[in-house]
Amino acid sequence: MVFSSLTFLFYFLPIVLLLYYIVPKKLRNLILFISSLVFYFIGEPKYGIVMIISILSTYLHGIFMDKYKKHKKKFLVSAIVISLLFLIYFKYTDFIIEYINTIFNRIFDLLNLTLPIGISFYTFKMISYIVDVYNDKVKVQKNFLNLATYVSLFPQLMAGPIVRYSTIENELENRNHTFSGFSNGVMRFIIGLAKKVLIADVLSDLIGNFNSCTEKTVLFYWIYAIATTLQIYFDFSGYSDMAIGLGKMFGFNFPENFNYPYISKSITEFWRRWHMTLGTWFRDYVYIPLGGNRVGKIKWLRNILIVWILTGLWHGAAWNFILWGLLYGILLMIEKLGLLKILDKLPSFLSRTYVMFITLVGFILFSGVGVNEILENLGGLFGIGTSSLVNKESIYYLISYALVLIIAIIASTPILKNIFLKLKEKVPKVINILEPIVLSILLIICTSYLVDGSFNPFLYFRF
């Protein structure tokens, strides 16, 4: 089940909200936990037990760490190893087998395992919890239901944000439910739904048309690159908005995951604005424990490379993800070694052009299936492998999708948000009247698209 489905919007969510608010407060976590299991088992009936076993393992290790303090480190290592073994087995086993077959020219059968949805996200949540317990940053959770609710909470189970236990530790037992908080959650959810259905899914259709086209031009390659970059952003940020909105409906305050990354003036700034919960997770649980930048230059550069190779691997068991991570790791090193000073002196449009070009290239690498396809799509931007700059077909698609591309480009910047905030400051009464009307229209339009459209799962479900 996904958020952008009629089943979720008009059956699952209303029923869960109704049950949640009519039961006594002490039973609300139970409702959330059961609802999350139902939500997960509908999508992954076979692998729901894997998540439950992982939660139980993390819970018991936390209890043992608290009870047998002399052996805290052993329990920490054990908990992390067990969590990572589940992740490695399901996500990386076939990749490792393929690599061994290539190196040693042997043929081992692939397991062809289905990746449990959300395993990368809930594994990182459990690791952050057990590490924070070890470092005495949070108290051990002795109530299994509370910990299970934290890990399995359906609003951010499938694709984040990666909510740390410390962020919602108090809210697990004491949440404030207000009308303004709930209404803000509804608004945020509808905005995220519109991002997904009206922009990301439409751009996905454009990308599909590009992939099926037999006579691609330079223009069409650039349309594809821009559409891919925008589609990934609106798909993932749309999910994050919906997750944050759902959290507010149930009294939780989840962290932001995106902050208009496409206005960045450096790759360093870009990664402070893109998938922020993943970036801070790697910073706090990998980069800093390795020594961060408090070591010699060689080790510091090594730490950056390790983090970015792992970041690439986290996204998927394929070489294009590893190369994608390496690309950004190397660029970040170059920036920190001096390029940032040059970028600071450049006019804003030049530094932003540099970031967007790298981003286009990065997402072509990220989205590619196989080396040949990646090289073809990269070369096509510069006329390599194609005989023409433009043809009728590429112009047709440009005109057909021009409106959604323009809307997506504008919406990827703070322009609309700033206009809204200024209008709310100057004419608050008008905005208070128009806001629910506009949101209702957006919901109706999204529903119409969902009734007539095809199923488009969230991109990050595969990670």
| CA atoms of 132 and 152, how far apart (whole Å) | 18
241 exposure class (CB count in 10 Å sphere: 0-12, 13-18, 19+): buried
Q: Which of 61, 71, 177, 315 is catalytic?
A: 315
CB 386 within 8 A of CB 217: yes
Q: What is the Cα Rg of the chain in Å?
A: 23
| CA atoms of 401 and 384, how far apart (whole Å) | 25
- b/e burial code for range 143-167 (CB count within 10 A of at least 16 → b): eeebbbbbbbbbbbbbbbbbbbbeb
Residues found in the chain: 463
CB 16 within 8 A of CB 35: yes
Q: Which residues contact 226 (CB under 8 A, 6 or more apart)?
A: 360, 405
Q: Which residues contact 197 (CB under 8 A, 6 or more apart)?
A: 4, 446, 449, 450, 453
315 in catalytic set: yes
Instruction: Give the Å distances, CA to CA, from 344 to 61, 186, 266, 296, 396.
Output: 48, 39, 9, 25, 40
- Quickly count: other Cβ atoms within 10 Å of residue 1's Cβ: 16
| CA atoms of 388 and 409, how far apart (whole Å) | 26
Cis peptide before 161, with omega less than 30 degrees from 0? yes
- Quickly count: other Cβ atoms within 10 Å of residue 381's Cβ: 17
Instruction: Give the Å distances, CA to CA, from 375 to 211, 230, 266, 301, 427.
Output: 14, 20, 25, 28, 52
| CA atoms of 354 and 270, how far apart (whole Å) | 11
Q: Active-site positions?
A: 315
